[in-house]
Amino acid sequence: MFDYDSQKPQYPAWSQLAYLLMLCGVGLILGSFISIGLAKLMLNVPFMSVPDALKDPKNVNVSRLIQIASTFFAMPLPVFIFAKIMSKKPVNFIGFNNGISGKQVFIIIGIMLMGSLLSNVLSEVNTMIPLSKPTEAYFKNLENEYTKEMMVLADMKNVQDYIVSLIIIALLPAIFEEMLFRGALQQVMIKLTKNVFIGIIITSILFSAFHFSYYGFLSRLALGLIIGYIFYYSKNLWLASIAHFLYNAFGVTQLYALSRQGLLTEDALKDSGSVPIYWGLIAVSSLYFLFIFFKQESQVVRSMHTLSNNFNNENEI
């Protein structure tokens, strides 16, 4: 994926990983301080009261703004600085390019529909894994805290709220997370392990763990693998971001429907509905064939994009 013609002097894979982790760590700390400071000023509450104030439904707009700010400093900003260090063309280095076809997008819609079905099945499987009582209580407490935060962000009373939620909950996280996990980390991991599958699965495990949700671990792991291979085959972060956005948008739309019907409760957020396990086999089989079509179309698109770039370069000369 790396565009070596536009790269600066090469850094070993371990050095690249160290740079990326260091920049993200600094960004996370800086973003936390800035976000809490903004919230304190906007809400006019004591510093220690900020977390509780952000959970108040009347402060939903502030909560959304704080989420954007903290995520921006923790993900896209460090990744862009990382890409700037590694390449003379940081945007291309991350994977943002114009080589996209309508057929690719159409196939991705099918992939993400099957991916959502597989995700629901894996959520069921996750609940079947036995845990000790203290461990189960700990993970359920994390889920409860996450649900309370989502209850604030997901309260949508009209179409305007729905569109804002699509942007805040679905679109921006999709782009920001894909920049970090696929645009930067996955590429480093593939180079580090010298194995595509191992690099993608390590990235997917970290992607799932990042969300701090035990009961959603397997479903997000599957999502990471699906989007990881979309990015690997297409070499295009826009397509990975579209796939991630679609997955998020399915969930936001379900929340909007519940909210409009007055059925949006913490129990409703936790209950994804029971899905028969055999549907997972159908989803996996469908994904296998969809990825064959996607890989073929991506090869055609990349070839055409390369020819177009070569033609433009010759004309410039």
- Measured between alpha carbons, how far is 144 from 234 in angstroms, rounded to an integer? 37
Task: Tell me: do 118 and 228 sit in the same domain.
Answer: yes
Q: Which residues contact residue 182 at a Cβ distance below 8 angstroms, ignoring those fewer than 6 apart? A: 95, 203, 227, 228, 231, 237, 240
State the pLDDT at residue 164: 87
52: left (phi over 0), alpha (psi -120 to 50) or beta: alpha
Q: How many domains does the chain have?
A: 2
- Measured between alpha carbons, how far is 305 from 309 in angstroms, rounded to an integer? 6
In a domain, 288, yes or no: yes
The model's pTM: 0.89
- Is residue 4 pLDDT above 60, yes or no? no
- HSE (side-chain half, CA atoms, 13 Å) at 102: 0
In a domain, 316, yes or no: no
Rounded to the nearest 5°, which phi and psi values hold at 87?
-145, 150
Task: Tell me: do 21 and 90 sit in the same domain.
Answer: yes
Range of lowest pLDDT (43-47, 72-76, 96-100)? 43-47
Task: Tell me: do 129 and 169 sit in the same domain.
Answer: yes
How many residues in the chain?
317
Among 36, 65, 94, give the residue marking a domain's end.
Answer: 94
CB 184 within 8 A of CB 83: yes
- Is residue 3 pLDDT above 50, yes or no? no
In a domain, 22, yes or no: yes
Task: Tell me: do 83 and 125 sit in the same domain.
Answer: no
How does pLDDT run across 157-201, given as a tens digit for each residue?
889 889 988 998 899 999 999 999 999 999 999 999 999 999 999
* Number of other CB atoms surrounding residue 162 within 10 Å: 18
Q: Which residues contact residue 33 at a Cβ distance below 8 angstroms, ignoring those fewer than 6 apart? A: none
- Measured between alpha carbons, how far is 34 from 17 in angstroms, rounded to an integer? 25
- Is residue 315 pLDDT above 60, yes or no? no
Task: Tell me: do 149 and 238 sit in the same domain.
Answer: yes
Rounded to the nearest 5°, which phi and psi values hold at 7?
-85, 155
Task: Tell me: do 152 and 255 sit in the same domain.
Answer: yes
3-class DSSP assignment, residue 206: helix
In a domain, 90, yes or no: yes
- Is residue 1 pLDDT above 50, yes or no? no
Among 94, 119, 136, give the residue marking a domain's end.
Answer: 94
In a domain, 132, yes or no: yes
Range of lowest pLDDT (3-12, 272-281, 307-316)? 307-316
- Is residue 305 pLDDT above 50, yes or no? yes
Q: Among residues 265, 227, 212, 291, which one has the least CA distance to residue 95?
A: 227
Q: Which residues contact residue 276 at a Cβ distance below 8 angstroms, ignoring those fewer than 6 apart? A: 121
How does pLDDT run across 235-252, given as a tens digit for each residue?
999 999 999 999 999 989
- Is residue 275 pLDDT above 80, yes or no? no
Average pLDDT of the residues in 193-211: 96
In one letter, which amino acid is 226? I
- Measured between alpha carbons, how far is 220 from 115 in angstroms, rounded to an integer? 10
Task: Tell me: do 126 and 260 sit in the same domain.
Answer: yes
- Measured between alpha carbons, how far is 258 from 260 in angstroms, rounded to an integer? 6
Q: Which domain holds residue 234?
A: 97-309
Task: Tell me: do 86 and 118 sit in the same domain.
Answer: no
Q: Name the more confident of 59 and 162.
A: 162
Task: Tell me: do 161 and 255 sit in the same domain.
Answer: yes
How does pLDDT run across 100-150, given as a tens digit for each residue?
999 999 999 999 999 999 999 998 899 888 889 999 888 888 888 777 777
309 pLDDT tier (thresholds 50, 70, 90): low
Task: Tell me: do 189 and 300 sit in the same domain.
Answer: yes
Q: Name the more confident of 233 and 41.
A: 233
- Is residue 7 pLDDT above 60, yes or no? no
How does pLDDT run across 93-102, given as a tens digit for each residue?
999 988 899 9
State the pLDDT at residue 136: 87
In a domain, 68, yes or no: yes
In a domain, 315, yes or no: no
- Measured between alpha carbons, how far is 187 from 232 in angstroms, rounded to an integer? 9
In one letter, which amino acid is 93? F
State the pLDDT at residue 86: 93
262 pLDDT tier (thresholds 50, 70, 90): confident
End-to-end distance of the chain based on CA atoms, in angstroms? 26
Task: Tell me: do 169 and 205 sit in the same domain.
Answer: yes
Among 94, 114, 136, give the residue marking a domain's end.
Answer: 94
Task: Tell me: do 76 and 217 sit in the same domain.
Answer: no
CB 103 within 8 A of CB 195: no
17 pLDDT tier (thresholds 50, 70, 90): very high
In a domain, 314, yes or no: no
Q: Among residues 107, 103, 97, which one has the least CA distance to residue 226?
A: 107
CB 89 within 8 A of CB 58: no
